[in-house]
Amino acid sequence: MKEASAVIPAARRVSFFATCLVDGLLPQVGLAALAVLRGQGLLVDPRQDQVCCGQSLYKAGHARQAASVGAAWVRAFSGAEVVVSPSGSCVAHVRHALPGLLAGWPDLAAEARRLASRTFELSQYLFRVLGVTPALGRAPGRPWVYHPSCGLHRSLGEDEAPRALLGALPGPPALDLPRQAKCCGFGGPFSVTHPELSAAMLADKLAAVREAGARVLVVGDVGCMLHLSCGVAERGGGLEVVHLAQVLAGEVA
């Protein structure tokens, strides 16, 4: 299901939700996403008081604490016309979990529902709201593959938008990635609570990339990007792991 198919009219001002991982560990992804949005002539509001959406707490079973953190997120983005993020998993949490978590908060419940309907993953907003299909950047010049993160293609039901944007780029097309629908093993707290299983899934994903003959791995979610990057760093071999936003911004050679 393509959840963003019934979209709101395109706004010229968007609020940018960076996420914790971008803010703390992957600022280059945030900067690339901002460049892509501004390249479409949009005014981007970074919401300096933004906080975590509470996804990790929720996935770890701490619903009460996730609600408290989520309430702070809603207050930070209150009044936003549109919220755009480079993380499909965080967007999925805002859409699916946050309204229910805050259902008992009379002062925030309605705003949580409104924001849930106006929060988009980056490629979704570009493709389904703005209708962007021409090339934004350039495909990597080296052999490359795309890994569809679970947060984007499972939780949001979105696989067309990132592939359409990447497919429109000038340059070499993506190689076929074996077993592409399989999870990379991150899953937020899953990688901590089930380290052996997570490591096996990571190894299989990197083996599939090697089977494809790729030198660049394009990922649609920041958590998956961090997980896969750590796996590559442990193994060596010259594979570069990049985020979809970096490719769309033309930052990957």
Give 56-74 as a DSSP string.
Answer: HHHHTT-HHHHHHHHHHHH
Kindly state whether residues 44 and 153 are assigned to the same domain. no
Checking if the pLDDT of 69 tops 50, the result is yes
What's the pLDDT score for residue 193? 83
**What are φ and ψ of residue 4, in 5° steps?**
-90, 10
Residues 6+ apart with CB under 8 A from 129: 4, 7, 8, 10, 82, 120
Checking if the pLDDT of 247 tops 70, the result is yes
| Average pLDDT in the chain | 92
Does the pTM surpass 0.75? The reply is yes
Kindly state whether residues 169 and 119 are assigned to the same domain. no
Identify whether 90 is part of a domain: yes
Report how many domains make up the chain. 2
What value does the mean pLDDT take over residues 132-139? 84
What's the pLDDT score for residue 182? 92
Identify whether 3 is part of a domain: no
Kindly state whether residues 92 and 160 are assigned to the same domain. no
Checking if the pLDDT of 246 tops 80, the result is yes
Checking if the pLDDT of 2 tops 90, the result is no
Identify whether 241 is part of a domain: yes
Identify whether 136 is part of a domain: no
Q: Which of 129, 154, 182 is the last residue in one of the domains?
A: 129
Structural domain of 47 = 12-129
The three-state secondary structure class of 132 is coil
Kindly state whether residues 162 and 118 are assigned to the same domain. no
More confident residue, 249 or 133: 249
The residue among 183, 190, 187, 218 whose CA lies nearest residue 204 is 183
The residue among 138, 158, 228, 140 whose CA lies nearest residue 187 is 228
Q: Which of 129, 153, 188 is the last residue in one of the domains?
A: 129
What's the pLDDT score for residue 145? 98
Identify whether 2 is part of a domain: no
Checking if the pLDDT of 124 tops 80, the result is yes
Identify whether 1 is part of a domain: no
What value does the mean pLDDT take over residues 49-68? 95
What value does the mean pLDDT take over residues 185-196? 82
Kindly state whether residues 57 and 81 are assigned to the same domain. yes
What value does the mean pLDDT take over residues 97-103? 98
Identify whether 139 is part of a domain: no
Checking if the pLDDT of 125 tops 60, the result is yes
How does DSSP assign 176-228, residue by residue?
A: P-TTTTS--S-TTTHHHHSHHHHHHHHHHHHHHHHHHT-SEEEES-HHHHHHH
Kindly state whether residues 21 and 112 are assigned to the same domain. yes
Q: Which of 74, 100, 129 is the last residue in one of the domains?
A: 129
Kindly state whether residues 122 and 195 are assigned to the same domain. no
Kindly state whether residues 152 and 121 are assigned to the same domain. no
Kindly state whether residues 118 and 150 are assigned to the same domain. no
- Could you tell me the CATH number of the domain that includes residue 22? 3.40.50
Identify whether 4 is part of a domain: no
Kindly state whether residues 157 and 106 are assigned to the same domain. no
Kindly state whether residues 59 and 107 are assigned to the same domain. yes
Q: How far apart are CA 223 and CA 188, in angstroms?
A: 7
Q: How far apart are CA 183 and CA 215, in angstroms?
A: 20
* Residue 6 confidence class, pLDDT cut points 50, 70, 90: very low
Kindly state whether residues 88 and 163 are assigned to the same domain. no
What's the pLDDT score for residue 235? 87
